Amino acid sequence: MELVEVLKSFGLSEYEAKALITLLSRGELTAKDISELSGIPRTSVYDVMNSLKSKGLVESYGKPLKFKSLEANEIVKIISGIILEKLDLLKKELSKLRGETSGDIRVYKGDAMLGILKAMVSEAKKVVALVSYITNDLAKILNSTKCELIAISSNASILKGECYEFPRKNELKDKFMEKFKGLCHGILIFDDKAAMVIFMNGITVGIVSNDEGIVLFLKMLIDSFVEFFRDVKA
């Protein structure tokens, strides 16, 4: 059953997943009922239910003892909380293993780079981007953000937010677009605290840094372009 596999991917055992699905679909049940309906051996039912109770997904009461699952939306919230806790722990432990510091420079390639970029965009309150050409993948990520977005690119109009396109003369712009279409190189600044330099041309590479000096230097570079385009527009 597909739902069993999904629940297993979130840390539940096969018996736990089957018991939870049975309770959700049938309501209040005794251990005997759960065993007969789910196929869980009767000798294992109480261990399974106690495990689900310890996770906060199931309640028990009465004589004879009956079990009841939480509502589906409550189960999703609890599982989400467990996952977030595990992710926070994983992030801390992996950082220790790599000996990361605030000044580290990290390199990501391919789908990993796109995943990190998406995460950084979703967590930021402000993103400033200076990119030669906005690819469809990059546009999808940047347009998904609800934060303040400032972007400068040859085709920035496909983005939402404060966007500026260069060059401004149509003839020059046409030549630029023809030559550099699909060549996506650029810099993104996140909340003035982190920077990512991206290269998306055949290979996809992202270089991320939280080093204050590097971020400040790249921010000053992009800010000069933003000020120029704001002045021209004004």
Quote the pTM value: 0.54
What is the average pLDDT across 144-167? 85
pLDDT tens across 87-145, in order?
677 766 666 665 444 457 888 888 888 889 999 998 899 999 998 888 888 899 998 88
- For residue 176, the model assigns a pLDDT of 47
E-strand spans in the chain? 29-30, 58-61, 66-69, 105-109, 126-131, 148-153, 162-165, 184-190, 194-201, 203-209
pLDDT tens across 172-200, in order?
445 545 555 556 788 999 999 999 999 87
Q: CA gyration radius for the chain? A: 26
What is the average pLDDT across 61-83? 85
- For residue 96, the model assigns a pLDDT of 61
Domains of the chain: 2-76 (1.10.10.10), 101-233 (3.30.870.10)
